Amino acid sequence: MERYWNEEMERMDRKSLETLQSYRLMRTVRRVYENVPLYRERMDAAGVKPEDIRSVADLHKLPFTYKQDLRDTYPYGMFAVPMNEVVRLHASSGTTGKKIVVGYTANDLDMWAECCARALTAAGADSNDFMHVSYGYGLFTGGLGLHGGAEKVGMTVIPVSTGNTKQQVTILKDFGSTYICCTPSYALNLAETMKEMGITKDEIQLRAGLFGAEPWTEEMRQDIEDKLGLKALDIYGLTEILGPGVAYECSAQTGMHINEDHFIAEIIDPDTGEVLPDGAQGELVFTCISKEAFPMLRYRTRDIVQLERGVCSCGRTFVKMKKPMGRSDDMLIIRGVNVFPSQIESVLLSLGNTAPYYQIIVDRVNNTDTFEIQVEISPEMFTDTVKNLEEQAKQIREAVHTTLGIQAKITLVEPKTIPRTEGKAVHVVDHRKLH
Ligand code: ADP
Ligand code: ZN
């Protein structure tokens, strides 16, 4: 039977939910207008007053905010409470440019833990379970975010953080963890290390894992479930809005429910900013309606997703977001064709026979884009004949061509050539940006 952490919220009828959202939105807009100069200036410039926002239907009147706004006001310019009310800071890993800094009040931390507790309960966890946290602890939100949620549920939390993968396998086995959270790439890294250590999935107790912080495909889900013998659930979040727990998957495994009593989601056309109808694919935009220290209004996530309304088989009424394909800035344009790394992951894993490790290398030679995919062969294939390997490369080349409509050079590389990661995987090396 489906269990809920907060049934009243998670199954609230849409009309009551909208009333709650409207009330919280109004309050938030008024507060940030008074306390955050950037919002006041933007709203004044757009001719919008706080009293113009009376319900969710007025949301579209508000101006957007962007990652650049957070950089321009670095570090604390967009905080909406005095610093003595802020009890925690986090920052984005800053893979692209200057770090952005966010803050939480005690109430914010409690709300965050609640969002993660909902995700864990949806995954079937309760206070009898052990939680192995291999997301990084530190400025990155992954570790401490899920840590707080697991403690709220009453699980026995093992704060392992990243690194020393062999030791992590030993801990997993000896401490009897039933739940794990980390990036999907690291889950595979753990599975591979387990195999090298001669430990089978029957020797560990894992029942489910919450994996997120990077895009991953259905094929990768299957692979992780097979190798670790667990149910793999998706969890989504971003530093600017909260960290993990903005949206979470239920037993249906068909998308993530957005915690809509705290965050309002919109889908817009990334080029025109126009709000798109339900079901359309576009850029996800979030508005925080219950946060105190750092409430973002209409924040452009750059994540490309689709929303799905309607009651889910799990009974939750929150809107679901489909698996994000990646951020718009992860999208490569190769010879005029849009390519998401996740499309290549899908092709590779559906063909089988290769290890789920790949890297896309793009360059520009004589004004033409070159497109190479380095694919690691599995240790089993390594001893295969050259002819078989050539056949394998040909199959991949054809499948990539069918999916994307462009030709790629496929290079099979030896096992363990592609760097393993403890956090987010790096799938693209774009030399065009470096010239
Ligand atoms: P950084 O911006 O430094 O990478 P964040 O942890 O804030 O650090 O990254 C958040 C981003 O990670 C999201 O905007 C999204 O692109 C990606 N992400 C998080 N969870 C998922 C998920 N479950 N599926 C796909 N992408 C995800
Ligand atoms: Zn559901």
Q: Which residues touch 100 (CB under 8 Å, ≥6 apart)?
A: 67, 70, 71, 74, 91, 92, 94, 239, 240
Specify whether the CB–CB gap between 323 and 337 falls below 8 A: no
Q: Whose CA is nearest to atom 2 of ligand 1?
A: 92
Question: Is 80 exceeded by the pLDDT of residue 434?
Answer: no
* pTM assigned to the model: 0.94
Average pLDDT over residues 39-63: 98
Question: Is 70 exceeded by the pLDDT of residue 95?
Answer: no
Amino acid at 30: R
The SS3 assignment for 159 reads coil
Specify whether the CB–CB gap between 153 and 5 falls below 8 A: yes
Average pLDDT over residues 258-274: 97
Average pLDDT over residues 271-287: 96
DSSP secondary structure letters along 74-94: TTTTT--S-GGG--EEEE---
Q: Of the ligands numbered here, which is closest to the C-alpha atom of 251?
A: 2
Separation CA 200–CA 206 (nearest Å): 12
Q: What is the pLDDT of residue 60?
A: 97
Domains, the chain, with CATH or none: 1-327 (3.40.50.12780), 332-430 (3.30.300.30)
DSSP secondary structure letters along 283-329: EEEEEESS-SS---SSEEEEEEEEEE-S--TT---S-EEPPP--BGG
Q: Which residue has the higher pLDDT, 328 or 208?
A: 208
What's the CA-to-centroid distance between 243 and ligand 1, angstroms?
A: 9
Q: What is the pLDDT of residue 55?
A: 98
In the sheet with 428-430, reading across from the earlier edge strand, the strands are 409-413, 368-377, 354-365, 428-430
Residue 239 has φ and ψ, to the nearest 5°, of -50, -45
Q: What is the pLDDT of residue 385?
A: 85
pLDDT in tens, 284-321: 999 999 999 999 999 999 999 999 998 899 999 999 99
Question: Is 90 exceeded by the pLDDT of residue 47?
Answer: yes
Separation CA 226–CA 202 (nearest Å): 11
How many CB atoms neighbour CB 370 within 10 A? 16
Q: What is the pLDDT of residue 122?
A: 98
Separation CA 303–CA 395 (nearest Å): 31
Looking from the CA of residue 330, the nearest atom of ligand 1 is 16
pLDDT band at 93 (very low <50, low <70, confident <90, very high): low
Residue 209 has φ and ψ, to the nearest 5°, of -135, 145
pLDDT band at 378 (very low <50, low <70, confident <90, very high): confident
What's the CA-to-centroid distance between 249 and ligand 2, angstroms?
A: 7
Separation CA 156–CA 60 (nearest Å): 43
What's the CA-to-centroid distance between 159 and ligand 2, angstroms?
A: 28
Q: What is the pLDDT of residue 356?
A: 82
Strand 337-339 and strand 428-430: the pairing is unpaired
Q: Which residue has the higher pLDDT, 363 or 93?
A: 363
What's the CA-to-centroid distance between 277 and ligand 2, angstroms?
A: 21
Strand 88-91 and strand 101-104: the pairing is antiparallel
Average pLDDT over residues 106-113: 99
Separation CA 241–CA 137 (nearest Å): 18
Question: Is 80 exceeded by the pLDDT of residue 354?
Answer: no
Q: Of the ligands numbered here, which is closest to the C-alpha atom of 97?
A: 1
pLDDT in tens, 177-236: 999 999 999 999 999 999 999 999 999 999 999 999 999 999 999 999 999 999 999 999
pLDDT in tens, 250-263: 999 999 999 999 99
Lining ligand 1 with CB less than 6 A are 92-95, 141, 212-215, 234-239, 301, 303, 324, 327
- Tokens coding 408: 């790629």
